[in-house]
Amino acid sequence: MKKIAVIDYGMSNLHSVLKAFQYVTNKNYEISVAKSIKDILDASIIVLPGQGAARSCMQRLSTNYPDLRKHILNKPFFGICLGFQILFEKSYEDNGVECFSLIKGSVNSFTGKINSKMKVPHMGWNLVKQKNNHPLWKSIPDKTFFYFVHSYYAQTQIKSNECSVTQYGIDFTSSVIKDNIFACQFHPEKSSKYGLQLISNFINWSETLK
């Protein structure tokens, strides 16, 4: 049986993520909360959801899950929201913090970059424009709406890593793909049938990876 480890570092809503993965997977998968690096070692797939600030997230991950970066490189990985942002080189939240540097680019504040009448955080449904014909988008129409909650946005420097873009005053990277890694700024677990379809597509895609 394959194991899906959903990382718990005390800054994410695990319940909805666990429920979404349980809904789309079959009896060949066991889904559990990862509370230590041993749980990561035993897993076939790593899922990192997240909410809150990047600095606190990086501190907790480095303390509770040493060498997590190495494991992200070696197993199918799904990052959500803050679990997406910390894949970049740096986040400028909380006066700046160095992140995992798995995706070239940075995470920046909407403040000062968008019309002052636009609310921050960017919260609610927004369309996601697909940038490639990846299997992750199977049965998901281009420009489908997904659910967002974030005050900082990411921009990747390497366009081949950009899986989708979204517009909120500016165009920003809303999902990335690189080797065994997929991550998104939006919340698929809160995005109705197409969010569940994306999770299902990720599971199927992970089975094709060596």
Q: Report the catalytic residues.
A: 81, 187, 189
User: Which of 167, 187, 157, 40 shows the shortest CA–CA distance to 87?
Assistant: 157
Task: Copy the structure tokens of residue 35.
Answer: 């509370």
Distance in angstroms (rounded) separating the CA atoms of residues 59 and 105: 20
Length of the chain as a residue count: 210
Distance in angstroms (rounded) separating the CA atoms of residues 92 and 129: 25
DSSP H helix total and E strand total for the chain = 6, 13
3-state secondary structure of 132: coil
Query: Do 49 and 78 form a contact (C-beta atoms < 8 A)?
Result: no
Distance in angstroms (rounded) separating the CA atoms of residues 71 and 37: 10
Task: Copy the structure tokens of residue 23.
Answer: 């809904």
